[in-house]
Amino acid sequence: MRLEQPEQTVTFTFDGRKLKGVPGEPVAAALMANGIKLVARSFKYHRPRGVMSAGSEEQNALVTVGRGAQTEPNLRATTLEVSEGLEVFSQNAWPSLRYDMLAINDLFSRFLAAGFYYKTFMWPRSFWEKVYEPVIRRAAGLGALSGETNPDDYEKAFAFCDVLVIGAGPAGLMAALTAGRAGADVILADEDTAMGGRLLREREEIDGKPATAWVAAAIQELANLKNVRMMTRTTVTGAYDQGTYAALERIAGDRAAGKPLECFWRIVAKRAILTAGALERPIAFPNNDRPGIMMASAVRAYVNRWGVAPGKSVAVFGNNDDAHRTAQDLQAAGIKVAALIDSRDDTDITSDFPIYTGAQVVATKGRHALESVTIAYNGGRRVIRTDCLAMSGGWNPTVHLTCHMNGRPTWNTDIASFVPSAENVPGMVTAGACNGTFSTADCLAEGAAVAADVAKDLGFKSRVKVPQAEDRTYAISPLWAVPGKGRQWIDFQNDVHVKDIKLAAQENFRSVEHMKRYTTQGMAPDQGKSSNVVALAVLADATGRGIPETGTTTFRPPYVPVSIAAMGAGSQGKGFAPERFTTSHKASVGRDAPMIEAGLWYRPSYFPQKDEATWREACDREVGYVRNAVGVCDVSTLGKIDIQGPDAATLLDFVYTNTFSTLKVGKVRYGLMLREDGHVLDDGTTARLGEQHFVMTTTTAAAGLVMRHLEFVLQALRPDLDANVISVTEQWAQFAVAGPKARALLNTVLDQELTDEAWPFMACGEANVGGVPGRLFRISFSGEHAYEVAVPSRYGESLFRMLVAQAEVMGGGPYGMEALNVLRIEKGFITHAEIHGRTTAFDIGMGRMVSQKKDCIGHAAAARPGLIGEGRQQLVGLRAKGPDHPLTAGAHLFEKDADATRVNSQGYTTSVCYSPTLDTQLALAFLENGRARHGEVIKLRDHLRDVTETVVVCDPVFFDPTGGRARG
Amino acid sequence: MRITCPNCGERDRREFYYQGDALALDRPSQDAGLSVWDDYLHNRGNPAGDTKDLWFHEAGCGAWLVVDRNTVTHAVHKAVLAEKVKR
Amino acid sequence: MGYSGFQVIKEGLFGQKGWKPVWRDPEPKAEYDAIIIGGGGHGLSTAFYLAKEHGMTNIAVLEKGYIGGGNIGRNTTIVRANYFLPGNSEFYSHSLKMWEGMEQDLNYNVMHSQRGLINLFHSDGQRDAFARRGNAMINQGDDAILLDREGVREYLPYLDFDNVRFPIYGGLYHPRGGSARHDAVAWGYARGADQRGVDIIQNCEVTGIDIEGGVVKGVQTTRGAIKAKKVGIVVAGRSGQVAAMAGMRLPIESHVLQAFVTEGLKPIIDHVVSFGMGHFYISQSDKGGLVFGGDIDFYTSYAARGNLPMKEHVMDAAMTLMPMIGKAKVLRSWGGIMDMTPDGSPIIDKTPTEGLFIDCGWCYGGFKAVPASGFSFAHLMATGNHFEAAAQFRLDRFRSGVGLMDEEGTGSQHNLH
């Protein structure tokens, strides 16, 4: 029922029913205004539940919004804003909220006590996965995901400030005003749709004006301060190291307007002031979960702020003075107060509604909506007809963020709750209700005082001016649980009640962590915000300890649940990692080459032609280009590191196993690099362009790794060396030109004549292309007469097109990764398929490349007994029986007649191909003691693809073993 | 987590690559023997408290840093350039 | 008392009054035949198997906090046997077999669910590496199926197959892989050990290890000195500190690994799924929460909490792989402390001190190892000989280089495994 007629209404639906609501009000308020009390079913017993709170701590009223891919489950009706056309659905109920079949669980609840599932469902064994578990899984869970791809936009952002104020209640507003006036960069964040916190829902005065007027003036002043940024709908969800805070902003407005739904903020603050307020906790009396039983402060919020009456005749039950406020506010709003029930004997309140002191609610009635409560009073029982019970078990300071860095709150007897410990999050101070300071006057004063201190620490001058406000005391006499018939709910969201906690204690789950895990207390989406203290008190009672000795569980981030889409914003689809494109990318795509991922790069797999039905045909043709004419391949993705300085050669001698200081200017040498633990890190060629100038080539995969490694060696191990390294991978476009006609091709594009005398195998130097200064390296990864020609990247695309055009004239063309792979396998050249991090120089037959005349990275560790010797698996070639016997990579190797079992496995294949050059199937492989077994026939077995082949072990260099073609 | 790079100032942890204990600076000689190398490569004091470790400002200036840090509180006390560390 | 459906119904009818403590809380005795330091999963299972398999019942488990409070209570509960290097392969295979009988063995429902695990791969090279792994699994007698892209789509239709940065080439499917209820494993072993006479002593921190002439004599604790002829250290996350009490430096760095759980959701992810192009793995618990994790935070830490960059990376991976997950909400994240070793594989071995044994270095794969680790460590402590399937987990393998098990191939940098 609405207390006054709203100016504007919109239509939304709940379970398909059309309802009127006020735009911006919480769905919970709108449902209440429409007389709807039953809004949800509980998790385990499917009990009917109604709205309980007026904030993000809501335990009961979880709903689903939207349809199809936009379906969003588990939203709190208490923070979800009404808008035109909003579709709200109840969840975890079938076939309907009112008639939910699984409510049968409630009838059998006596058998479903805490942890019952650990004790049964074990027989027969096969039934767990086939019968019990599927049933349990279907019954569990709250809302449902659509299973469809997220269609909405989410954002991530960084922010920086001097002072982050978390929560905009009286303390937070005062803190922001004080720090802002002093000139500090302030971010004031509040999860509500409006600033003001508690003041928005209380009938109080500040400086003689209604509190809401003071709030409006404060917001106005803050808005005028350029150094203050106010963020509503923004929940600070976590505190992290060195003043980093996470925050989730729900973006207001229409999603059709193209705005993201949420933004996940990383806020770096020099200081933070936590003014997060406090949360009211329930009392565990029998059947305290009926729709219509709410937190007393929530009742005030709905009445005072949203103008909605949660009931026609409301009873109030509390153990503290704050409950009285609710009764008075109800009366002021013209709502009948059925009774004020105060569990304390000595309380001084007089009014014209019935007051029962020293009384407790011991029973409630009403299945889908509260009908009456029974109280124990004056030695007797009394039934009070009421459709709404406002309960208050006292207030828990919102200490959550103070626990995120392992801070443990301490027990405060005066307020019967936990308050932040002094040192919790470095750089963060607490003020106001979250600090256990409850009166408005004290909150204002404390907010101002801590902000003044913080401002001063940061070098700002501030003046403290605190307005006059109400200074009510907060007296509480703890009341945790009321005995009686019926379950006394503590964690409403996970359906944990007093007996569950007592059972946990009885079974020796006495540690608070054991109790939590055994009963699931506090493990629901609200993380026990409202319920944990009550549960601790009940456990303390059951185990005969005090609450401080019982301790508390830890609150972990996030403070409120955060959608994965917000924290992972930008990564959906292609956004997960950067895409790197070579200069020939467009040209390759233009030739319909399938582009495949090579680390972050894209490279052409092959260049298809019209008459080719399979990739293999294209690949075989491209291999033929290189073996018989000329092929062109973009190799720019390989890492290129420019190394200069007087000690450049010494550096190379130290990072490579072989020697580079002896390399002549104008020459290239293959080098092998180890990790310090003696295994192969990477390989590649390094060219000496000048006495003190080298260019190193790394594999595509290890480019970043090697760069970091070189910097480490230079800065950390050998700062004595005068050398500098810089990555020039992006600066040069480099193309392999390979095949018997490679020289002829290059002679059509180079500015000077290329001769074998001037450019023998492994020569390097400068070479101009059409007036562009470039570089030429006579190196080969195919075993053919080949070069790599490099030009500054901006000329890459045109050079590629030119080379390809010339190659095609000569009966060749471009080749892709597939052909490149075949060419290198035929030659026994290794890639990271072979140097996969577990191989040593010894394994790949390069033991002799480890110079014994000098130290190098990995030298000592490579000499460990386990890294050398016969037992190790060594690189070999495998030749299949013929072209129709394809081999598979990842197959294991066995002696010819051995069973394919672990103990018999002697190795595995790493790279396989069909060799059009040799017309057979080849593999590179590692085989136990393989170098001594050339000629032996062994078995290859691939269980996964059901391949069994006999293969002949041979040298890994299948083609042109003397290397004459590359030199010719 | 934030680290103050001596070259660049205070930067977010995501700009840095972490390697491990700063004992990696004290590389043994080639012939130091298996045990010394074993200690260098594998064994760690692994303190629950203050430690010195190596970070690389990979997305920044490219400096290798020795960072004084606490492994229990994640407090970062100080960062210096590895090349300036006396050894 | 035995647990059964019948008991549950009986107790339901009589107000749950008959349930007894799942384990006792005895005072520590002055002397035991053996002491296990550490009441986590591995320590409790060690005690259980010492009692059950070797008849050693005069033993105690000393736990500085509450049992099961370490990594067994804060992991992503994945159980699998998909290793490919000798040493690991046979061990995890053995462990999975033990999982398959655990409920009956313990008379405790740990909800071990073999829902199947799918490791996705995103390039030809990754496929080849997974093929090698799958073949090793079958060589060992375990199960593995190589799925192509369409095969993956059949099981996991909700993945992004069309617009993703790293396309899905296929997956290695391990049908016997799955998950379990982590806390229950600790409690089940505790109950089983307690029933066999083992003293489980909580809130008892070991402050020193007494060694005389190279022989262990007992331990000093916050509850007094306790003598023992054999002492086993099983304190993942704190291995370095406890080993230091015996003068040892371990090949271990402690790192924090974060994990995440969403609010309860109706069943949507039926398998354990692991992404190949960024560290991300996910499954859905019986309660309905999506449980997932990624890589360690990479810096050494004892803080049991992590930072945002890795959290965001995990969410990034989730969004690129399965964008239908976006509207699920993380309700809680936490961190555990991992013993990271130089080859990513564990240690179960004797120490230079006679009578002192150590079980550590589980990196972030310790949960699935709980039964076999306890079984193997108990075997070693009781008989002095290595259990065959765990015989390669030697402390000196790094020194010698013999029998390294570097599944990731990243070498001796602890945090890269």
pLDDT tens-digit profile of C3-50? 999 999 999 999 999 999 999 999 999 999 999 999 999 999 999 999
pLDDT value for C271: 98
Residues A899 and C350: their CA atoms lie apart, in Å, by 34
Please report the pLDDT score of residue A256 as a whole number: 67
Q: Which residues on B lie below 8 Å from C249 (Cβ)?
A: 39, 43-45
Per-position DSSP letters for C44-77, written without gaps between them: HHHHHHHHHHH---SEEEE-SSSTT-SGGGSS--
Going by the DSSP 8-state scheme, the letter that residue A932 receives in this structure is G
pLDDT tens by residue, A102-130: 999 999 999 999 999 999 998 888 899 89
- For residues C165 and C126, is the Cβ–Cβ distance under 8 A? no
Separation in Å, CA of A21 to nearest CA in chain B: 45
Tally the residues of chain C: 417
- State how beta strands A10-14 and A813-814 pair: unpaired
Residue A202's closest CA among A212, A188, A213? Answer: A212
Closest in C301, C398, C399 to B74, CB measured: C301
DSSP letters, A250-315, are EPPS-GGGT--SEEEEEEEEEEEEE---EEE---B-BTTTSTTEEEHHHHHIIIIIT-B-S-SEEE
Over the stretch A306-349, which tens digit does the pLDDT of each residue have?
A: 999 999 999 999 999 888 999 999 999 999 999 999 999 987 78
Q: Mutating which of A944, A945, A947 best tests the C interface, going by the most C Cβ atoms within 10 A? A: A944
Question: Which CATH architecture group holds A869-967?
Answer: Beta Barrel (2.40)
ipTM given for this complex = 0.99
**Each residue's pLDDT tens digit, C75-107:** 999 999 999 999 999 999 999 999 999 999 999
| Residues contacting A936, CB < 8 A, separation 6+ | A952, A953
From chain C, pick out residues whose CB is under 8 angstroms from the CB of A120: 3-5, 7-8, 109
CA dihedral sign of residues B39, B40, B41, B45: positive
Domain A154-279+397-457 sits in CATH at 3.50.50.60
d(CA A429, CA A449) in angstroms, rounded, equals 11
> What is the pLDDT, as a whole number, of residue A33?
97
Name the residue range of residue B55's domain. 2-86
Closest by CA to C270, choosing from C115, C149, C111, is: C115
Question: B75 pLDDT exceeds 80?
Answer: yes
Q: What percent of chain A has pLDDT over 90?
A: 95
In this predicted model, what pLDDT tens digit does every residue of A498-509 receive, in sequence order? 999 999 999 999
Closest approach of C209 to chain B, Cα-based (Å): 18
pLDDT in tens, C357-399: 999 999 999 999 999 999 999 999 999 999 999 999 999 999 9
Q: How confident is the model at residue A350 (pLDDT cuts 50, 70, 90)?
A: confident
Whether residue A440 contacts residue A170, with contact meaning beta carbons closer than 8 Å, is answered with: yes
Percent of chain A at pLDDT > 70 equals 100
SS (H, E, C) A363-428: EEECCCCCCEEEEEECCEEEEEECCEEEEECCEEECCHHHHCCCCCCEEECCCCEEECCCCCCCCE
pLDDT digits (tens, 9 = 90+) for A474-486: 889 999 999 999 9
Is domain A639-727 in CATH 2.60.120.620, yes or no? Answer: no
Q: Decide if C300 and B38 are in contact by the 8 Å CB cutoff.
A: no
Asked if A859's CB is within 8 angstroms of B83's CB, the reply is no
Whichever domain contains B48, its CATH number is 3.30.2270.10
Query: Cβ contacts of residue A393 below 8 Å, gap of 6+?
Result: A280, A281, A282, A283, A318, A319, A479, A480, A534
Q: Which of B1, B3, B46 to mutate to test the interface with C (most CBs of C within 10 A)?
A: B46
Search chain B and give the residue with CA nearest A713.
B25
Q: Which DSSP state fits A809?
A: H
DSSP state of A129: I
Mean pLDDT of A190-207: 96
Closest CA to A539 of A576, A578, A497: A497
For chain A, give every domain's residue range: 1-147, 154-279+397-457, 282-393, 617-636+731-824, 639-727, 869-967
C-contacting residues in A 94-113 (Cβ below 8 Å)? 110-113
C-alpha pair distances (Å), A467 with each of A218, A458, A624: 11, 25, 88
pLDDT digits (tens, 9 = 90+) for A37-75: 999 999 999 999 999 999 999 999 999 999 999 999 999
Percent share of chain C, pLDDT over 70: 100
Q: What is the CA radius of gyration of chain A?
A: 38
Residue A870 sits at the chain C interface (C-beta within 8 Å)? no
Q: What's the 3-state SS for chain B?
A: CEEEECCCEEEEHHHCEEEEEHHHHCCCCCCCCHHHHHHHHCCECCCCCEEEEEEECCCCCCCEEEEEEECCCCCEEEEEEHHHCCC
The pLDDT tens digits of the residues spanning C346-364 come to: 999 999 999 999 999 999 9
Residue C130 tokens, joined:
């997974």
Helical packing angle, A170-182 and A211-224, nearest 10°: 30
**Cis peptide preceding A95, ω within 30 of 0:** yes
Count the Cβ atoms, other than its own, within 10 Å of residue C15: 11
Whole-number percent of chain C with pLDDT over 90: 99
How long a stretch of residues is chain A? 968
The total domain count for chain B is 1
Alpha helices by DSSP H, listed for A598-668, are 615-628, 648-655
Name the neighbours of B, counting chains with at least 3 Cβ pairs within 8 A.
A, C
* Nearest by CB: C301 against B19, B35, B71: B71
List domains and CATH numbers for chain C. 24-77+182-251+343-416 (3.50.50.60), 117-175 (3.30.9.10), 253-340 (3.30.9.10)
| Segment A428-474, tens digit of pLDDT | 999 999 999 999 999 999 999 999 999 999 999 998 999 999 888 88
| Phi/psi of residue A538, nearest 5 degrees | -70, -40
- Could A712 and B56 be called an inter-chain contact, meaning their C-beta atoms sit closer than 8 Å? yes
A558 preceded by a cis bond (ω within 30 of 0): yes
Distance (Å) of CA A955 to CA A882, A905, C227: 17, 20, 61
- In angstroms, what CA-CA distances link B2 with A426, A428, B5, C312? 13, 16, 9, 16
| Tokens describing residue A99 | 């008639």
- Cβ neighbors of A257 (< 8 A, separation 6 or more) are none
User: Strand, coil or helix: what is A12?
Assistant: strand
CB contact B12 to C (< 8 Å)? yes
Residues of C in Cβ contact (< 8 Å) with A942: 131, 135
Handedness of CA A865, A868, A869, A873 (dihedral sign): positive
User: B44, C240: Cβ pair inside 8 Å?
Assistant: yes
Residue A879 vs residues A744, A893, A894, B74, C20: alpha-carbon distances, Å = 34, 13, 15, 56, 68
The minimal CB distance from C163 to the residues A116, A574, A943 is found for: A574
Q: What is the mean pLDDT of chain A?
A: 96
B28 touches chain A (CB under 8 A): yes
Subunits with 3+ Cβ pairs within 8 Å of A are B, C
pLDDT of residue A553: 82
- How many CB pairs below 8 A link B and C? 74
pLDDT at position A762 is 98
Asked if A242's CB is within 8 angstroms of B64's CB, the reply is no
pLDDT per residue over A919-964, tens digit each?
Answer: 999 999 999 999 999 999 999 999 999 999 999 999 999 999 999 9
Closest partner residue to B44 (CB to CB) among C238, C252, C298 is C252
Q: Is the peptide bond before A124 cis (omega within 30 degrees of 0)?
A: yes
* CATH 3.40.50.2300 at A1-147, yes or no: no
pLDDT for res A303: 98
Q: Out of B18, B39, B72, name the one closest to residue C302 (CB).
A: B72
Q: What is the pLDDT of residue A254?
A: 67
Please name the residue of chain B whose CA is at the shortest distance from the CA of residue C308. B1
**Chain C contacts to B (CB-CB under 8 A):** 238, 240-241, 249-254, 298-303, 307, 309, 342, 398-400, 412-415
Q: What is the pLDDT of residue A255?
A: 67
Which pTM was predicted?
0.97
Q: Is the per-residue pLDDT at A870 higher than 90?
A: no
Cα dihedral sign, C60-C66-C71-C74: positive
- How many of the other CB atoms lie within 10 Å of CB of A220? 9
A421: exposed, middle or buried (C-beta count within 10 Å: 0-12, 13-18, 19+)? middle
Nearest chain A CA: its distance from C13 CA (Å) = 7
Candidates A903, B84, A575, A486; CA nearest to C391 is: A903
**CB–CB of A944 and C305 under 8 A?**
no
Find chain B residues with C-beta within 8 A of C307's C-beta: 1, 13, 74
Q: What's the pLDDT at A473?
A: 83
Contact A241 B2 (CB under 8 A): yes
Region A582-594: what's the mean pLDDT?
98
**Domain A617-636+731-824, CATH number (from 3.30.300.20, 3.90.1150.10, 2.160.10.10, 3.30.1360.120):** 3.30.1360.120
Question: Domain A282-393's class?
Answer: alpha beta
Q: Residue A511 has what DSSP assignment?
A: S
CB atoms B82 and A716 under 8 Å: yes
CB spacing of A125 vs C103 below 8 angstroms: yes
Q: What is the pLDDT of residue A914?
A: 98
